[in-house]
Structures are given as structure tokens and as C-alpha cells.
Amino acid sequence: MNLPEQFSDLEIYLDKWDLPDFNSRYAARLDSSMEELTNFYSVMLARADDIKSYLDAKAFSDYQDTEKRLARLMFAMGVVGPAVDIFRSAVVPDSGASNFEMVLDIELS
Amino acid sequence: MPKQPQCPPEDQIIAGGGAYDQRHYEDHPDLGTGLISYEHAISPRSFELEREAIFRRAWLNVGHELRLPKVGSYFTKEFEILNTSIIVVRGKDQAIRAFHNVCPHRGNKLVWEDHPAKETYGKAMAFFCKYHGLGFGLDGNMEVLRDPDNWFGSQGCDLHLVEVQVELWNGYIFVNFNPGGPPQSLREYMGEHIWSALDDVPVELFTEQVLGKGEINSNWKTLHDAFSEAWHGSVLHSETMVNMRNVVFRAPPSRFDGPHRTAVACGTVPEGVYTFDIERVSRSSVTGTQIPPAQKIDPPRAAFGSGQQDWVAVTFTVFPNFQLQIYAPGWINTYNYWPLAHNRMRFEINQYFQPARNFSELFSQKTGTGIVLDNVLQDLGTLEATQRGLESRVYEEYPLIDEEHNIRHFHKEIDKWIRAYEEGIEANA
């Protein structure tokens, strides 16, 4: 069991989107087609309220590995969302000359 | 007495902006209304002048003491414009010190990993030179002298790192490279208004930190300029601010204290009017998380006076290259702009949050950070376009509109500091 049982249908996304940090999530976003991003995002979006309710019921310190994976899928969805919803492009328009790297971030331990 | 920002009446406020009808130049007549030269953003000679006139004299922020949680916690910081690097470290006595990151035996860079140009961080009880193994304590003194019989007299034992002046402001670490020591304490340098600006903000609760950085081919001042006016927001970021496309942003006049500045954004970003699903589901937007933290933040009095209820953000700018923003309902954002050459810079963004109480709050913080960063990437990309345009020298001077009064103030101070250096006087007297 890789995810809490009621979210086991999302396991197909773990290979690509269970990533440890912002930099790897952003790299995966840039490495994906819009079709792939839209599919992942829309499926996650439909489940997001349920996932939030489920995870909110537990303290971070009580998270099992399955719950940490589910949380990381949501964090990936948070990085993909702006590409699908706002920019309609994996790459932010007119950002070709810029680059960015996260040095410290808040992640579940 | 500098004039305090004054928010417009509530019925004139548009989300994030304000139909402000007062003209800034009337509040700040000394700034003038003339054309501005950007020669200092495109000339290598200006870069050399700024090295001595500004970056070797001003107090410079290098981050927050959250990065140094324990005795021996350290980070290195590169100052390309000063051709140096420093180690910032928490000592055994808990004091934070900074040292030039150079071994005094043959000049090797002391602390680095992988590539000497890269910054690094970690925890150590002594700093050992990778070259010949000499070890220096957290107080900078020689601690491990290798092959002691081989040294002449006390030349080995006497080695110690060169200390750089450090002072703290609400946990934010500032250093000063002034030869002969800083002419002013950090408090004198900031002035009482900025020094006390966070007195009613519970900064000690913002213990969660995000740090990112990037490099771009533009002069450091052009990014400062971009982040000192909101006029570009609804145009450059039209995808994000889709519901503000027709809004002409007008900020209330800023408050100037010497070279430093207090700027405000009035209005509200009401919950429930998100444009996009990702904003709704994460309760965050281009102004970050909209979930009030465990301890809600009141509008800082130093920016809004008392009685102000509706606010979006306040920006305190500490000359030359540090901006601290507090966003409603309660998170903190800082920017640092570091010159690498006249036409290249490094940009740092730090965000500070109160610890998330549950998953939804953490998701909101992290998604908000991502939306902010996507928009920052647009700002950064545009700056190379600006640099290329400026370097064409097609125009000698440029008009700044009334709304761009913060930029006018900044450039006036840059000119003033360079003139003071050339005349051998103190710029911030």
C-alpha cells in the first residue's frame, strides 16, 4: 500500500510526482507536456478537498509514509496548478532569460 | 519629520490598489520631476564606484539568524562586488560573528564545497582549510596548527581570521565592510523609524524559512526598481492578475527616512474571490497564502499608523539592497539584490511563515510561494530585456512617472552616495 486506501487510485502518479522538493517538482513540470500536466492537475484537483480533510485530521508527526506520499503529491499539484490554470504553459511566458533555485524549503521530515 | 503613508478612503480602494488622487511629487518636492539617466546601470565604471561608495560602506543584510540555529551553525556568503566571501557563524557563546572566508596561510578560500564560487552552509566546531589542514575556531583564532615545529616563531600560532562587523535587527543579520569600522551603528544607519518598524510585529513567531536564488543578466538596481513600483503588476503579470487588467495601480506616497523607505499597498485581497482553481483550493494567490497564521498580524503601525484595517502589504527598504515585506494576513518576504558585474546580478528571496498548524495551511504556504516565484520569473526575464535596451544607449535619459517616486528616491540616493565618496564625506550623515 503506497497511499491511504481511499486514495489508492492516485498511485499511478507516484512514479512521476512523488518528489522530495520544489526544485525537482518544478523540473518535472518543465519536463512534462501540457496534456500530462492537465491530466494530473485535474485529477488531483477533483480530490483535493478530500485529501486536505483527510490529512488535516492528523498531526504532521503522526503521518505514516503513505500519508507523506499523499502530501507530496499535493505539493506537486501545487507546483503544476499555476502552469495549467494561470499560464497555460509549463514555462512561465517570457521567463526565458531567468533561472531560479530553491536553497531552503519547508518539507515534511 | 518624514510624512507617513496615508491610505485613501475605503470607497476609493480597489483590491490591491487604490484610486489615489494625490500626486507624489507634491509630497516629495525634493525629488524633482526631471528625466533620469540609467548610465550607472550600464557602465563598468559605475560598478567600480558602487563597490567603494556603497557596498564597502553601507550595512548589508545577509539573511536571518534562523539559518544559524545551533553553536557551530554557519553559512558562507559571496560578495562578488567586493571580491570576497564571508563565513557567518554562531559561536560557543551564542554570538553571531562573520569572518572573511580566507585562510591566512597562503590565501586559500577556507570554507567551500564542490566549487569555490558556490555558497554553502552546515555545522562545524572548527573550520579546516582544504589545502594544508589548518583549523580555525568559531571565534576565528588558530585552533589546530599542523606540524607546529615547522613554523617560524609564533607566525603559525598567531594566525587568525579577519572579522567583519555584524549587527542584528530583529534577527536579520547585517554586516559592514567599512575600512576602519562602520561610521554608524546599524541603528543609527537605519534611523529610528525603520529600526523600530517591526516592534509590533511578532517576528519571533515566523520560524519557518524558504530561501531561493537566481542569477540574471541585468544590473542589480533594475530589479530593485521593478520591486519598488506596482505599476507594472497588472501588465507584466496580466495572466495572474487577470481581474486587475483594467486597474491602474496607484500607491499612496511612501515615507522616506534618509536612503531608506516605507511603502504600503492598501486595500484588501478578500477570501473567496480567487480567479483560479489553484488559488481557491490552496487559499493562496500572487500575494501568497491568505490563511491567517496562528497569531494574526495587525497592520504594522510603522507603515499604516493606527486604526488602519484594510491592507495588502508593507515594504521596508533598507538601502542599498534589502527589502522586507509583510503581507496580510501574515507572512514575511525579503529580497536581496547582489551585483555580480555592471550587467549581472544575483537575486535572493526569503519567505518566513509561522509553523503551519495542519496540512491545508502548509499546502497554502507552499503553493503561494510557487505562485509568487512564477511571477518573479517573469520579472527576472524582463530585466534582461531592460538591460539590453539600456545598453543600446538609444536614449540618454528616461522619464519616470509620478507613481515611480520610490525609484526616483533610490536613484537620488545612489548618486548622493557616489558623490559623497568622491568628495570624501559621509553619505548617510
pLDDT tens per residue, range B103-119: 999 999 999 999 999 99
Indicate whether this complex's ipTM tops 0.90: yes
For the ranges A41-45, B205-209, B225-229, B345-349, which has the lowest average pLDDT?
Answer: B225-229
Smallest CA-to-CA distance from B112 within B85, B136, B135, B134 is with B85
At residue B213's C-alpha, the angle toward residues B212 and B218, to 5°, is: 150
Domain count, chain A: 1
For A7-26, what is the mean pLDDT?
98
Q: Is residue B346 classed as helix, strand or coil in its secondary structure?
A: strand
- In the block, cell 506616497 appears at B253
Are the CB atoms for B67 and B121 separated by under 8 Å?
yes
Cβ–Cβ < 8 Å for B409, B39:
no
Q: Is A106 on the interface with B (CB under 8 A)?
A: yes
A to B CB pairs, distance under 8 Å: 131
Mean pLDDT confidence for A17-36: 98
The predicted pLDDT at position B247 comes to: 61
For residue B71, name the pLDDT band (cuts at 50, 70, 90). very high
Average pLDDT over residues B308-315: 82
State the pLDDT confidence band at B274, using cuts at 50, 70 and 90.
confident
> Is A10 within the bounds of a domain?
no
Amino acid at B166: V
Listed in sequence order, the DSSP H helices in chain A are: 14-17, 22-30, 34-56, 65-81
Q: At B245, is the pLDDT very low, low, confident or very high (cuts 50, 70, 90)?
A: low
- Taking an 8 Å cut-off on Cβ atoms, the answer to whether B213 and A98 are in contact is no
Average pLDDT, chain B: 91
Whether B75 and B127 map to the same domain: the answer is yes
Buried b (16+ CB within 10 A) or exposed e, B204-223: ebbebbbbbbbbbbbbbbbb
The pLDDT assigned to A94 comes to 86
Q: What's the gap in Å between the CA of A103 and the closest CA on chain B?
A: 5
Select from B273, B260, B239, B225 the least CA-distant residue to B16: B273
Same domain, B222 and B114: no
Label residue A6 exposed, middle or buried (CB < 10 Å: 0-12, 13-18, 19+).
Answer: exposed
Give the closest of B212, B282, B363 to A103, CB-based: B212
Minimal CA–CA distance to B252: which of B242, B270, B266, B239?
Answer: B266
Coil, strand or helix at B272 = coil
Band of residue B267 on the pLDDT scale cut at 50, 70, 90: confident
What is the average pLDDT across B45-50? 96
Q: How many structural domains does chain B have?
A: 2
Q: Point out the domain boundary residue: B181, B211, B230.
A: B181
State the nearest Cα–Cα gap between B146 and chain A, in angstroms. 35
Residue numbers of the domain that contains A65: 19-87
Within a domain: B55: no
Residue A103 lies in a domain: no
Report the distance separating Cα A23 and Cα B212, nearest Å.
10
- B244–chain A Cβ distance below 8 A for any pair: no
Q: Could you tell me which residue, B6 or B174, shows the higher pLDDT?
A: B174
- The pLDDT of residue B1: 64
Among B209, B353, B358, beta carbon nearest to A56: B358
Does B355 sit behind a cis peptide bond, omega within 30 degrees of 0 on the bond before it? no
State the pLDDT at residue B17: 45
Whether residue B64 sits in one domain with residue B38: no
User: Which residues of chain A neighbour B212 with C-beta distances below 8 Å?
Assistant: 22, 100-103
Lowest model confidence (mean pLDDT) among B190-204, B234-248, B313-327: B234-248
Instruction: Find the distance separating the first CA and the last CA of chain A, reported in whole Å.
Output: 20
Q: Please, are residues B195 and B293 in contact by the beta-carbon 8 Å criterion?
A: no
Within-domain flag for A11: no
pLDDT of residue B378: 87
Reply yes or no on whether the pLDDT at B366 is more than 90: yes
Q: Higher pLDDT residue, B311 or B410?
A: B410
Determine phi and psi for A2, rounding to 5 degrees: -100, -20
Q: Give residue B141's domain range.
A: 60-181
For residue B343, being part of any structural domain is answered with yes
* B149 Cβ neighbours under 8 A, 6+ residues apart: none
Residues B196-236: tens digit of each pLDDT: 999 999 999 999 999 999 999 999 999 999 988 877 777 77
**Residue A97 contacts residue A43 (beta carbons within 8 Å):** no
A31–chain B Cβ distance below 8 A for any pair:
no
pLDDT above 70 (res B92): yes
* Interface subset of A 62-81, CB within 8 angstroms of B: 71, 74-75, 78-79, 81
